[in-house]
């Protein structure tokens, strides 16, 4: 007996799990043969980057580095180059460092222990739970932006979750987690998928939602968002844009790049220098003698 029959949560679980079985996307990291390293690579790439853009980079990455030790043996700059235009290239550096840590601490195998995962570079609360749940079938609250939104609507009855993750979100997700281990692991991926495909941020497809008859937000008449305004991410003219341009040049060149080539990226001298210094400080760029730069070796 997995559920107390008649329990509202049990009904929610059943509806979402049945929907997932019929509607889940076929994604390579969900293949049972994919393995923990493949799951881990996908989770790093999917941090703030949409699935469609991750797919090709993911395939190339695993083809080139099928095991953590393969990546760990290469210079970090190769990880940054292979990261291509996924964005937030520090993730590439962290994935490389995590691969090295896996070789040093765990004999080259992705650990199945939540605490050990959390101790790896670039692995936070979400990613540790995701790897433990998706790759090892463990029972964890896997709380990403999709799950926060689904729970905010279905259980709390508001249009959007809070702007940043809170301890309350985590507690709510733990409360909503099925007791049975295997069911919990399926619920983790299924509730996330529901948020990605149906219970979307902008225009949720409530007409296709398997839990619309149980959704606290829908039952309340789908009231609009009331919270504080979400501040938009500006990008034009930011240091991030400059960093992106500088790094794009360095990715395309395999050797040393003269500073003059980097100077052509951006007019504002002060901002350009600040961005370049930041890249060096982050370990994404290596300064060389004679005013030259390259990806880290």
**Would you name the residues annotated as active-site residues?**
43
Candidate list 68, 77, 89, 111; residue touching DNA; CB under 7 A: 89
In the complex with DNA, which residue's Cβ is closer, 2 or 168?
168
Q: How many CB atoms lie within 10 A of CB 80?
A: 23
- 202-240 burial string, b = 16+ CB within 10 Å, else e? eebeeeebbbbebbebbeeeeeeeeeeeeeeeeeeeeee
Q: How far apart are CA 87 and CA 49, in angstroms?
A: 7
- Distance, CA of 7 to chain centre: 32
In the complex with DNA, which residue's Cβ is closer, 155 or 265?
265
CA distances from residue 120 to 77, 98, 108, 114, 131 in whole angstroms, order as listed: 19, 5, 13, 10, 12
Residue 205 beta carbon to DNA: minimum distance, rounded to whole angstroms: 10
What residues numbered 143-172 form the site for DNA, per CB under 7 A?
A: 144-146, 149, 164, 166
| Strand intervals (E) in 26-178 | none
Q: How far apart are CA 91 and CA 68, in angstroms?
A: 15
Residue 42 beta carbon to DNA: minimum distance, rounded to whole angstroms: 6
Determine if 238 is a binding residue for DNA (CB under 7 A): yes
Determine if 46 is a binding residue for DNA (CB under 7 A): yes
In the complex with DNA, which residue's Cβ is closer, 231 or 269?
231
Residue 110 beta carbon to DNA: minimum distance, rounded to whole angstroms: 14
Determine if 123 is a binding residue for DNA (CB under 7 A): yes
Determine if 53 is a binding residue for DNA (CB under 7 A): yes
- H/E element holding 257? strand 257-258
Q: Which of 230, 189, 229, 217 is nearest to 16 (CA)?
A: 189
| Span near DNA by CB under 7 A; candidates 66-74, 176-184, 201-209, 256-264 | 201-209
Spell out, one character per residue from 14 to 43, where the chain touches DNA: x when CB under 7 A holds, - when not: -------------x-xx-----------xx
Determine if 289 is a binding residue for DNA (CB under 7 A): no
Asked if 2 and 180 touch (Cβ cutoff 8 Å), the reply is yes
Asked if 120 and 102 touch (Cβ cutoff 8 Å), the reply is yes
Partners of 286 in the β-ladder: 294
**What residues line the site for DNA (CB under 7 A)?**
27, 29-30, 42-43, 46-53, 85-90, 94, 121-128, 130, 144-146, 149, 164, 166, 192-193, 195-196, 200-203, 230-233, 235, 238-241, 243-245, 247-248, 278
């Amino acid at each position: 007996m997995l559920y107390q029959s008649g329990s509202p949560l049990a009904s929610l679980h059943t509806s979402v799990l049945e929907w997932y079985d019929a509607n889940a996307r076929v994604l390579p990291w969900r293949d049972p043969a994919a393995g923990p390293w493949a799951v881990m690579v996908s989770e790093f790439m999917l941090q703030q980057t949409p699935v469609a853009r991750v797919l090709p980079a993911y395939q190339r990455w695993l083809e080139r580095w099928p095991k953590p030790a393969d990546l760990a043996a290469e210079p970090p700059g190769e990880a940054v180059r292979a990261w291509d235009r996924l964005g937030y290239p520090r993730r590439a550096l962290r994935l490389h460092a995590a691969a090295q840590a896996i070789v040093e601490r765990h004999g080259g195998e992705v650990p199945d222990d939540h605490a050990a995962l959390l101790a790896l570079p670039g692995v936070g609360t979400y990613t540790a739970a995701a790897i433990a749940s998706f790759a090892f079938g463990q029972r964890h609250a896997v709380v990403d932006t999709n799950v926060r939104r689904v729970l905010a609507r279905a259980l709390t009855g508001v249009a959007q979750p809070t702007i940043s993750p809170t301890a309350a979100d985590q507690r709510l997700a733990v409360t909503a987690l099925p007791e049975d281990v295997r069911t919990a692991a399926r619920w983790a991926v299924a509730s996330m998928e529901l948020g990605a495909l149906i219970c979307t941020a902008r225009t949720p497809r409530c007409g296709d939602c398997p839990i619309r008859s149980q959704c606290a937000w829908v039952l309340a008449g789908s009231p609009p968002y009331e919270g504080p305004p979400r501040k938009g991410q500006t990008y034009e003219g930011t240091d991030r844009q400059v960093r992106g341009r500088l790094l794009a040049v360095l990715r395309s060149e395999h050797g040393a790049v003269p500073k003059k080539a980097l100077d052509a990226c951006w007019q504002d001298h002060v901002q350009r220098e600040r961005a370049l210094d930041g890249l060096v400080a982050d370990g994404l760029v290596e300064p060389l003698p004679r005013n030259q730069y390259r990806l880290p070796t």
